[in-house]
Amino acid sequence: MGSESVLFRNGFRYRRAEASGLPSALRVEGLQYTYPGLLLTVLLIGIGAFGYFLMSSLVGAFLPVELEKMGASNTFIGIFITSIPYVLNMIITPVVSFQSDRLRTRLGRRMPYILCSAPFVTLFLILIGWTPAFCAGAEWMPQWLPRILLGMLSVGYQIFFLIVGSIIYYLFPDVIPERFIGRFMALFSLTGSLAGFIFSRWLLPFGENHLGWLFTAVSLFYLAVIVLMGRTVREGAYPPPDDAGKPFSPVGMVRSYFRDCYSIPFYYSFFIMMALSDVSTVCRAMFNLLYAKNTLGLSYAEFGEIMGWGGVVGVLLSFPVGLLVDRFHALRVYAFGLLLVVAVNLFSFFLVHDYRSFLVSSLLLAVVYTIQGAATLPCFVAILPKAYYGQFSSANALLRAAFMAICGAGGGALFDWLRNYQYIYMWDFLFTAAALGAFGVLYRSWQLRGGAQSYIAPLPRDRSP
């Protein structure tokens, strides 16, 4: 009986070969690596990820401030920055995730979505970047029109960003051997921290007066590195999906999706834990720069400097935390991160009141979110079934989107009522504490199913609790 045929990477190029002579730890989904081949793959994904992180920083950093300048309320900001995008997320992410698990092309099942969405992400970012300057010079516009226009462009951007923003995370388990996923995610997190440092330290102050040029440069850089990644990172061959050959039915797809993803009670606590943890940061994502400017009196440069030092912390800690994830298991490290998030936010709510205390709080938050971030994707890999990974990840994203859509508008309305951005910390504290409760339920069920030694992810056909 012949050995399995795989795509083999020893250097820059791939070739078809028989799977033999190398440890199985270097094999994944029809791909076989040598250590240099695996390192090169990680480097190329890292270059794409660097562009992705820079690109994804733009809207969250600048759009709330630009909308506020146009007279938008916190509720309006919450609806357009968070609620509408996550309602779209509830529609788009399950569809592309379900279909990407079943797609079979020469480029793979994930890469076509990443490559096809990139030009549209770039186009909308360029339009968003130049809209404030255009509207400022258009005196004929009604006062309300600029913020509506900017909000709608943001929605257009989010439609295509949601495609790459979900699918790019599904790519990693398909091309990185599971044994190395913790260390890979540490490097991925390190890349994000490095991008965050560069963005906060230099690009954020530049954008205060040159917004259009900043959006144009970063979005074009993102397009270039994503195309580079798509041309140089290959996916392996996947077995045909279980429903291959069956006629496509939208109603049947929806029925199959919900039956598969939400019929296994074991996963409920995992989905809820992740949703609550993500919701905990929604108000910080929307209002942190406004808090620094309007409540603490910081300039763009001062805020960027503090966030930049947070990026340095992330760079220094990402790889050691990745080693801890591989050593102690992702779930345990993630729970430790949740505990630290609760403690730091409680401290910050009562003690942050100026530049120095905001700096200390931001550095501590950078530490705890580095720990939590490095463990997040390995938690997904450890808990969810590999054959349905994209589909179950999107089921988590669907619940998360419902929470975020409600809490985005709700958080904006809450801060319109409170008129005090200090409560960003209390919001984070309460939702993270609730996520810890969901973790307790998940951890007990996980242990009953074998824990770190013998856990096997329940499949859709196995619907026992």
Q: Is the pLDDT of residue 83 over 90?
A: yes
The DSSP result for 25-54, as a single string, is GGEETTEEE-HHHHHHHHHHHHHHHHHHHH
Q: How would DSSP label each residue in 338-390?
A: HHHHHHHHHHHHHH--SHHHHHHHHHHHHHHHHHHHHHHHHHHHHHS-GGGHH
- Over residues 32-49, the pLDDT tens digits come to 898 999 999 999 999 999
In a domain, 411, yes or no: yes
- Contact call for residues 164 and 121 (beta carbons, < 8 A): yes
CATH number of the domain residue 400 falls in: 1.20.1250.20
- What is the pLDDT at residue 420? 95
Query: Is 27 part of a structural domain of the chain?
Result: no
Q: Residue 23 — very low, low, confident or very high, per pLDDT cuts 50/70/90?
A: low
Residue 8 DSSP symbol: E
pLDDT for the residue 1 = 42
The answer, yes or no, to whether residue 26 has pLDDT greater than 90, is no
- Decide if 19 is inside a domain: no
Least confident range of 280-289, 374-383, 418-427: 374-383
318-352 pLDDT per residue, tens: 888 888 888 899 999 999 999 999 999 999 999 99
Query: Which class for 239: exposed (0-12), middle (13-18), buried (19 or more C-beta within 10 A)?
Result: exposed
Instruction: Output 169 or 364, whichever has higher pLDDT.
Output: 364
Q: Number of structural domains, the chain?
A: 1
**More confident site: 222 or 162:** 222
Q: Is residue 288 part of a domain?
A: yes
Give the Cα separation of 157 and 222 in Å (integer): 14
- Greatest CA separation found in the chain? 76
Query: Over 70: is that where the pLDDT of 247 sits?
Result: no
Q: Tell which residue, 267, 296, 460, has the closest CA to residue 382.
A: 267
Average pLDDT over residues 446-458: 92
Res. 443: pLDDT tops 80: yes
Alpha carbon separation from 11 to 16, 27, 39, 232, 315 (Å, rounded) = 13, 15, 9, 11, 27
Position 138 scores a pLDDT of 86
- Is the pLDDT score of 283 beyond 90? yes
Q: pLDDT category, 465, cuts 50, 70, 90?
A: very low
Instruction: Give the least confident one: 82-91, 173-182, 422-431.
Output: 173-182
Residue 117 domain boundaries: 37-234+264-451
Average pLDDT, the chain: 90
- 406, pLDDT greater than 60: yes
Q: What is the mean pLDDT of residues 104-110?
A: 90
Instruction: Report if residue 28 sits inside a domain.
Output: no
Q: Select, from the ranges 190-204, 222-236, 256-270, 451-465, the one with the highest average predicted confidence (pLDDT).
A: 222-236
Q: In what order do the strands lie in the sheet with 14-18?
A: 14-18, 5-9, 31-33, 27-28
- For residue 243, count other CB atoms closer than 10 A to its CB: 12
Range with the poorest average pLDDT among 1-10, 357-366, 404-413, 416-425 = 1-10
- In this model, does residue 112 exceed pLDDT 50? yes
Do 400 and 90 touch, CB atoms closer than 8 A? no
Give domain status of residue 459, yes or no.
no
Q: Which amino acid is at 262?
A: Y
| Cβ(322)–Cβ(372) below 8 Å | no
Range with the largest mean pLDDT of 91-100, 161-170, 289-298: 289-298
Tell me the HSE value of 276 on the side-chain side, using a 13 A CA sphere.
20
- 358 within a domain of the structure (yes/no): yes
Residue 31 included in any domain: no
Top-confidence range, 96-110, 245-259, 348-362, 394-408: 348-362
Give the pLDDT score at 293.
93
Neighbours of 4 (CB within 10 A): 12
Residue 433 reports pLDDT greater than 60: yes
pLDDT exceeds cutoff 50 at 437: yes
Average pLDDT over residues 198-212: 92
Strand pairing category for 5-9 and 31-33: parallel
- pLDDT band for position 237 (cuts 50, 70, 90): confident
Indicate if the pLDDT at residue 24 is higher than 80.
Answer: no
